[in-house]
Amino acid sequence: MKRYTVAELLSSTNFLNEVTLNGWVRTFRANRFIALNDGSTIKNIQCVVDFENTDENILKRITTGAAIKVKGTLVESLGKGQSIEIQVSEIKILGESNPEEYPIQPKKHSLEFLRENAHLRIRTNTFSAVMRVRSALAFAVHKYFTEKGFYYFNAPIITGSDAEGAGEMFRVSTLDYNNFPKNEDGKVDTSKDFFGKTTNLTVSGQLEAETYAMALGKVYTFGPTFRAENSNTTRHLSEFWMIEPEVAFNNLDDNMDLSEDFIKSVINYTLKNCKDDLAFLENRLLQEEKSKPANERSDMNLLEKLNFVVNNNFKRVSYTEAIDILRNCKPNKKKKFQYLINEWGADLQSEHERFLVEKHFKCPVILFDYPANIKAFYMRLNEDGKTVRAMDVLFPGIGEIVGGSQREERLDVLKQKIAELHIDEKELWWYLDTRKFGTAVHSGFGLGFERLVQFTTGMGNIRDVIPYPRYPQNAEF
């Protein structure tokens, strides 16, 4: 007999049909009503047990968390809260769940408690909704780029180069911790390591993606990236997923257009395809907001926020304009910022980004043309000689969601920059080759996938939008 999912049955009107389904018990009331969930939707299906004709030994094993198989008839429900239910004719316990020990009880658990039980938290409504939306967003990413003629490119995960030049990398090594091979000068002899050199987990697939864009035209990566920065914030992970499109012949304006269209498109996909989950998450957020002081509550609910982003233009502002705004704004003058903005050249912190987005412009903002010395080596130098064609997309509640740029395509300018930063040119010989052979204007950006999931689901902490978060002092599971 065909095995149905709860999602299929809830949208079915084939009443009186005999059906079979499997799932996990969420609650069991009055020895009669099972709320069954199988992950296919946030909704449970009500299964009504004929307890008088059911073995008592089975009834007492129908507890929260147990896996069961149900056979029964699909009928219209007379009860409140659902339109259909299953009249159970046969029930089988597939896997018991000890109610005394099972941590996920039908009550509200704190997100911190659930993080410690990340292997079980997916059994809650909140986490199943978040992870279904995450999955839908991932599909929307591939759909968007495929439909626009991009090729999916897999950058290497183990690499010898530091794309961002920030030195925040995790080393990959098979050397014996307790017995490092040494050079004559006493230093560790990395030539004896597995790859014959120092290697790390990638911080970004960009440099390799550039080489592919220079042949395939339009490519994008979507893979894990790793950063060993000691940031314990609600927006940083040590292991996160990044989407990095790279397009030959695109300049910075094209790049901004692409980032805006892309973000709107994938969020719009979830608005159309994740209605139940988003409705649940919106309600969850409303409850959470109630416990906040009035001045910290958001003036838009989740769906309004998502629709706002999809339907409005992102504001494009140069770094120089942004600095003028920040220098003269109230929190700066009243010394409310932790980092005060005194002069042009200052690196923007998340408090400044969020001020611009949430208080000043009240919409997503794309900042561009940053000072060269606060950005990576590969960005194209402007005619002014001091700014580069960089862009950051800033979002409410999140801050930076995208970082990108037009790339420096001129070999001599790039080489000079590499020399200034004391980067070893020999390490980048293959990257420089793209500037020697058929170089051209090109641009790309990186979108932090978890920050996108965070924005779309309204979750406050990035650790709650990836199945098993990695952050300093934590690599459990």
Q: Which residues of this protein are in contact with ligand 4AD, per CB under 6 A?
A: 163-164, 204, 206, 227, 236-237, 240, 242, 244, 400-405, 444-446, 448, 450-451
Inter-residue contact 206 to 244 (CB < 8 Å): yes
**How many other CB atoms are there within 10 angstroms of residue 25's CB atom?**
22
Q: 37 or 255: whose CB is closer to ligand 4AD?
A: 255
- Tell me 380's DSSP state: P
Instruction: Tell me which amino acid residue 109 is.
Output: H
Q: 37 or 259: whose CB is closer to ligand 4AD?
A: 259
Beta bridge pairs of residue 474: 471
What is the number of residues in the chain? 477
Say which residue the tokens 């020990």 belong to.
101
Say which residue the tokens 């912190």 belong to.
349
> At closest approach, how far in Å is the CB of 390 from ligand 4AD?
9
Q: 47 or 391: whose CB is closer to ligand 4AD?
A: 391
> At closest approach, how far in Å is the CB of 448 from Mg ion?
9
**How far apart (Å, rounded) are the C-alpha atoms in residues 349 and 333?**
16
Which residue number has the CB closest to Mg ion?
Answer: 403
Query: What kind and span of H or E run contains 143?
Result: helix 125-147
Q: Which stretch binds Mg ion (CB under 5 A): 195-203, 217-225, 397-405, 452-460?
A: 397-405
- Tell me 5's DSSP state: P
> At closest approach, how far in Å is the CB of 403 from Mg ion?
3
Q: H-type helices in 238-368, by residue range?
A: 252-273, 275-290, 302-311, 319-327, 330-333, 350-354
Q: 20 or 211: whose CB is closer to ligand 4AD?
A: 211
> At closest approach, how far in Å is the CB of 224 from ligand 4AD?
11
> At closest approach, how far in Å is the CB of 153 from ligand 4AD?
12
Inter-residue contact 121 to 81 (CB < 8 Å): no
- Best CA proximity match to 244, nearest among 309, 168, 153: 153
Angle between helices 449-457 and 275-290 (to 10 degrees): 70
- The site partner of 68 among Mg ion, ligand 4AD, none (C-beta below 5 to 8 Å per kind) is none
- Residue 403 in the binding site for Mg ion (CB under 5 A): yes
Q: 11 or 473: whose CB is closer to ligand 4AD?
A: 473
- The site partner of 259 among ligand 4AD, Mg ion, none (C-beta below 5 to 8 Å per kind) is none
Q: 28 or 395: whose CB is closer to ligand 4AD?
A: 395
The torsion defined by the Cα of 456, 379, 387 and 398, in degrees rounded to 10, comes to: 10
> At closest approach, how far in Å is the CB of 348 from ligand 4AD?
12
- The site partner of 396 among ligand 4AD, Mg ion, none (C-beta below 5 to 8 Å per kind) is none
